[in-house]
Structure 1
Amino acid sequence: MKKTITQIFAFSFWFIYNAFVGKLILHYLLNLEFIPASICYIFIIVLPFVLFFEIFVKILLLSTISSKLKFLPAHLESLSQIDIKTFNYYTNALESLGFTRISDLELSESSLTVARIFSHPKHFCFAEVMQTPGRSSVFCAIGSALEKEWSVSFRDNSFIHAIVYAFLRRPKGIIVVKQGVTPEELLRSHLKFRQKIMRDLNLQLLPDISIEAYFDQSQRSRIGQRKALWRKSVIIGLLEMGLFNFKSEVQKSEWLGDYARLAAKKG
């Protein structure tokens, strides 16, 4: 339904621009006289494409990211294409590190994602074991919430996706990928970096590790992603997606947001 409405708006935009708006703008530019006519005609040709991408394509992208997350209880053993053996490996490894399993969840959006959620009563962080059945392997993420809307997430598999980097990255949402490390190494790296950013930016840890806090943090992250997308130029984002492939493996494995800049100022 949303796509149909967007298509109607897009068609109406092209019709109105070609029939009226484009001609009025061209007439105005030509009357300025100091702008060469060739530049005016090029501007009139390019302008609708820029507006199309910056308005309608952005609306389409936003329509794929729901403003409110909906988590449902899940029974992983009963779901098809779930790598339950790997889920159990992570469960045993995380519990041996002091994590407590708190819930199995299902998130249904453009594709189904399932997650097993853990919390750590000593280190005040969450762990997620996640899989998109049939589309991705199982991976583990350890995350902490800090004050002033900062968050730190360390993951053990998969690079940051180009579309996430280009359109959904948040200035205060740090993501670091440690490819192929054990859960113990992942937790150690997470805690070490978390302590560093807390010290460098004078931040405090948010100690609430209830399932309600997890839902709230996830929702805040989603709101931040939508804000980032709304403010982002689609054309610049598409260029960044293309250039992302030329980044090194290290660059593809971390997004530090505003951290480095702010830490340098405080130093």
Structure 2
Amino acid sequence: MILFFEVIVKILFISNISSKLKFVPTQLEALSQIDTKTFNYYTNVLESLGFTRISDLELSESSLSVVRLFCHPKHLCFAEVMQTPGRSLVFCAIGSALEQEWSVSFRDNSFSHAIVYAFLRRPKGIIVIKQGVTPEELLRSHLKFRQKIMRDLNLQLLPDISIEAYFDKSQKIRTDQRKALWRKSLIIGLIETWLFNFKSEAQKSQWLGDYTRLAARKG
């Protein structure tokens, strides 16, 4: 019965996570309930830091999300400014892709979600939330940590910052999340979801995956 329960619930979970991501070019100014003032703030600051604006995109799933995508020709990383229309939260994420399917994402104002932590986290997908920092500090922290993980794990940066590389990486993350959900024990995941509420804010603000363990082994 437990096995039957796990399989059925997993199928229901996975059916709500589309296997293929579909990004559609859009114009944010033409959409309703978009915080254009905050988007323009991030755009001005990111461009002053050397980022180049690539495109405005819609990602339609259970709810619509919009993203303004940037790349940095010197630092070879992406920046995303994201919002779900109708919700006040607009946040910036700076991400880099490394060898061996590692990724590093620093975010300035994103909610930590217990279900995402328990069921969709990836061992090579590092996420650090630095609540309320400026884009300058976010970029500086990202580059400093990126250099550290590259040194500690002997990894190289993937230099492709085209929109095609962004799409490919996003799709790979989605595929990995679906695989992780299928392999995950539902009972263990529910326990982790409950225990997440007892974590400190510092613990909720970062997921380092296998990095700490592998760095200690190499050290």
Question: What is the alpha-carbon distance in structure 2 between the residues aligned to residue 74 and residue 228 of structure 1?
Answer: 31
1:109 corresponding residue in structure 2: 61
Secondary structure at the counterpart of residue 101 of structure 2 = coil
CA contact 1:159–1:252 (8 Å) conserved in 2: no
CA contact 1:151–1:173 (8 Å) conserved in 2: yes
TM-score (norm 2): 0.98
Please give the per-residue CA displacement for 1:229-253, whole angstroms capped at 9, x wherever unaligned: 1110111111111110110000100
Question: What is the alpha-carbon distance in structure 1 between the residues aligned to residue 13 and residue 172 of structure 2?
Answer: 19
Question: What is the alpha-carbon distance in structure 2 between the residues aligned to residue 216 and residue 253 of structure 1?
Answer: 26
Correspondence list, 1:227-266, <5 A: 227-266=179-218
Secondary structure at the counterpart of residue 103 of structure 1 = strand
Gaps of 5+ in 2: none
Please give the per-residue CA displacement for 1:209-229, whole angstroms capped at 9, x wherever unaligned: 000000011011111111111
Question: What is the alpha-carbon distance in structure 1 between the residues aligned to residue 29 and residue 95 of structure 2?
Answer: 25
2:95 corresponding residue in structure 1: 143
Alignment length (residue pairs): 219
Question: What is the alpha-carbon distance in structure 2 between the residues aligned to residue 215 and residue 164 of structure 1?
Answer: 21
Please give the per-residue CA displacement for 1:113-134, whole angstroms capped at 9, x wherever unaligned: 0000000000000000000112
Aligned partner of 1:217: which letter? K
2:123 corresponding residue in structure 1: 171
2:107 corresponding residue in structure 1: 155
Question: What is the alpha-carbon distance in structure 2 between the residues aligned to residue 56 and residue 136 of structure 1?
Answer: 35
Question: What is the alpha-carbon distance in structure 1 between the residues aligned to residue 42 and residue 18 of structure 2?
Answer: 29
Correspondence list, 1:2-41, <5 A: none
1:55 corresponding residue in structure 2: 7
1:222 corresponding residue in structure 2: 174
- Aligned CA RMSD, in angstroms, stands at 0.8
Question: What is the alpha-carbon distance in structure 1 between the residues aligned to residue 11 and residue 206 of structure 2?
Answer: 28
Identity value in percent? 84
Question: What is the alpha-carbon distance in structure 2 between the residues aligned to residue 265 and residue 201 of structure 1?
Answer: 10
> Which residue of 68, 76, 88 maps to 1:124?
76
Gaps of 5+ in 1: 1-47
User: Cα 1:122–1:72, aligned 2, differ >3 Å: closer, same or farther?
Assistant: same
Please give the per-residue CA displacement for 1:43-68, whole angstroms capped at 9, x wherever unaligned: xxxxx1x1243101000000111111
> Which residue of 188, 193, 208 maps to 2:140?
188
TM-score (norm 1): 0.81
Q: Which has the larger Rg?
A: 1
Question: What is the alpha-carbon distance in structure 2 between the residues aligned to residue 95 and residue 215 of structure 1?
Answer: 22
CA contact 2:35–2:88 (8 Å) conserved in 1: no
CA contact 2:63–2:84 (8 Å) conserved in 1: yes
Higher mean C-alpha displacement, 179-188 vs 230-239: 230-239
Normalized per residue, which structure has more strand?
2
User: Cα 1:150–1:233, aligned 2, differ >3 Å: closer, same or farther?
Assistant: same
The alpha-carbon deviation at position 136 of structure 1 amounts to 4.7
Find runs of 4+ consecutive structure 1 residues off by over 4 angstroms: none
Secondary structure at the counterpart of residue 160 of structure 1 = coil
